[in-house]
Amino acid sequence: MNPAFAPLQHFLEMARGAGLHISAAESIDAVRTVNVVGYANRDHLKDALGLVLAKTPEEKALYAEAFELYFRRERFDWAADAGKPADESAAMQAVPTSRLAQMLERNDSAAITATIEAAAQAVGLAQIRYFTQGALYTLRILREAGLIALEDEITALRRSGDAADAERATHIAGQVVTLRRAVRAYVDRHLEMFGRGDAEAMHSERLQAVRLSGVSARDLERLRLLTRRMARKLAARYARTRRRKLRGQLDIRRTIRRNVGWGGVPFVTHWKQRKIDKPDVLVLCDVSGSVAGVSQFLLMFLYALNEALSGLKAFAFAGGTINVSEILEHQAVEQAIPHILDKIGHQSSNYGNALAEFEAQWMKLITPKTTVIIVGDARGNNNDPRIDIFGRISSHARRLIWLNPEHPASWGTGDSDMLRYAPFCSLLRECNSLRHLDRAIGQMLAQQG
């Protein structure tokens, strides 16, 4: 790549790391934009690149933040920290003075800025990704800028026995301390730019594996975003699979018939197709007090799944059962989940009563094409679990999947009826993290149709 476009290349890498999706075509457009606009006018450059790299409001916000971080030029000023520059006569001392020492003694911030930026580029600072690399890159930049030679020079000045040399050595040493702090701040800023995407990915990966009941308050919003993103991804994955199945095999007879006008040359193809039904999914979600730590996330995933799969039938239960399909369909997630929890959440669970209410009012919704998903811990407070009703639900449905937030070792202990329900389940899974949800629902969608 032309050296003139190196800053743009680094900026695009940083923007991608910050979460901005930039395609190859958009990268080419960015190069053409810089070729026309140039770097001279910062505002013009920002506006022009923004037109080709950011489309949605979220992307525009990410782009603006990334641009300000990357194109903010550092200035290394130390006069306030290290006192007055040494006397000009110091340059005439017998001990030779390195270029870095001269810049520090003169407080030449412009020259120091250029030196640090060149050293950072030489050691590949743009490759920094994790906070544990900060000290390493700081040391590499300082050495590339000439720190080792400078420290040797300071030692020689102190050993010369001359008072002026000793004063000069003290002054330069003070400047070095300030230089170290400035370079570390410079490295930290690059870590913020280039490492954000990887750090976010690592944190998101960790959150997907952590137990939902153990999520800290500061991670709640991130987990909500991950939940909605995961549900959309699952639905998109199902849609791609369904489109491939719909295409089927080439229908030779109809293809020849449609191309009679071209002498039978198959310019227009006709594919055999078989009808694949949309997913018919009915979900029963436990929101009782025993699952209070995970119920809002289960409802959140249910809400996101409802956004992704049209026609989802959703119910919440504790001591009884309510239909929440309309709530999920017509209310925003911020209102829907509190609304459901206010109506029935955090009550004592009674699986037998909840199943009886469901059978009396909504059993007709279950057909041989329906996949029933039950999310709950199967703890019914020693009430009758109504295994008979559960068996009828299982016999009516195509499949019955149970996702239990408890560890399998706890199933059947205390007031858990999980092992009594288990024989009627097509699939029984531990499900107390987003990763578990992803695998279970993904498997369900893959087998649908």
Q: For the chain of 449 residues, list the mean pLDDT of each consecutive stretch of 10.
A: 70 76 87 88 89 85 81 56 46 60 82 86 78 86 89 87 86 87 84 61 54 54 62 58 58 77 69 60 87 70 66 88 88 81 86 95 93 90 95 94 89 94 92 71 59
Asked if residues 416 and 410 have their Cβ atoms less than 8 Å apart, the reply is yes
For residue 94, the model assigns a pLDDT of 44
In the numeric block, which tokens belong to residue 407?
């560890």
Asked if residues 191 and 131 have their Cβ atoms less than 8 Å apart, the reply is yes
Asked if residues 273 and 247 have their Cβ atoms less than 8 Å apart, the reply is yes
Locate all alpha helices (DSSP H) within 20-146, ordered by sequence.
24-37, 42-53, 57-70, 79-82, 99-106, 109-122, 134-145
Identify which of 129, 126, 137 has the alpha carbon closest to the alpha carbon of residue 199.
Answer: 129
> How far is 170 from 154, CA to CA, in rounded Å?
8
DSSP-assigned beta bridge partners for residue 285: 316, 375
Terminal Cα-to-Cα distance of the chain (whole angstroms): 50
